[in-house]
Amino acid sequence: MDQPDSFLLLACSQRKRVTPDPLPALDRYDGPQFRLVRNYLRAHPAAQSRLDIVVLSARFGLLVPSERIPAYDQRMTRERALQLRPAVMDALRRYVRRASYRRCCLALGRDYALAIEGLEAIMPEDCAITRLRGSPGERLARLFDWLYGDQARPEYPRTSPSGRARLRGVDICLEPEAVIACGLRALHVQQTPLPEPKAWYVELDGNRVAPKWLVSQLAGLPLSAFSTTDALRVLAALGVEVRRL
């Protein structure tokens, strides 16, 4: 069996699958980063032997992906992170002792990061540590790059597109072809410069457009009303291909 050489630490997500029975942590949390990781592991099952994944939960502390947990609602605060820190750091030291990581990705917000303060000091000296920063869409894109590396970049992962999405109270029910047609119509009447795609794009007749712009045309909402991750979620549900720049 391969020795793990990569380490991924994910913060739990507010978005969770709601079920009456406990679910494995990797399945319970349903934020964009967790959906991306699940799709990556499905596409690359052999990677599971080389990649250690742990989840930092505001309720439970450090979790392994298979640990079954109930649905809950608890936000991470500075005080809670400091309370969790001794147990979290002890668990992280055990991971580091049993593996020689070459790279590490920390997908954590500011409060969560307090619980792992000092992690760099216990990691191997030659371990390349990546901290995801920027907007939610930019952090998701960087996690995508960290997971896939130099492999051919697939489209944004999607599973069982339903043809239906809801965004800020607006229901969008369209087939992929209708989404593209709507985008092309909007392109032809657009009188102001389009926002430049920063990390993700949808191709419309040779034009690369930002997912947020396309979804704003579908929903009739201003760009300021939702995030890039919202747009990715909507387009994934509608079955529209979104690619990484």
Could you give the domains of the chain?
6-148 (3.40.50.10630), 164-244 (no CATH)
Return the pLDDT at 3. 80
Mean pLDDT of 176-205: 87
- CB 243, CB 200: distance < 8 Å: yes
Write down the pTM of the prediction: 0.74
CA 7, 236, 12, 244 torsion: positive or negative?
positive
Q: 138 falls in which pLDDT band (50, 70, 90)?
A: confident
Question: Between β-strands 243-244 and 207-209, what pairing exists: parallel, antiparallel or unpaired?
Answer: unpaired
Distances, alpha carbon 237 to alpha carbons 12, 164, 167, 207, 225, in Å: 22, 6, 11, 22, 19
Q: Supply the pLDDT for residue 2.
A: 65
Q: Which residue has the tokens 């901290």?
A: 131
Residue type, 99: A
Q: Strand locations in 92-141, DSSP E?
A: 103-107, 128-131
Residue type, 180: I
d(CA 198, CA 193): 15
In this prediction, residues 33-56 reach a mean pLDDT of 90
User: Which pLDDT score, from 0 to 100, does residue 153 have?
Assistant: 57
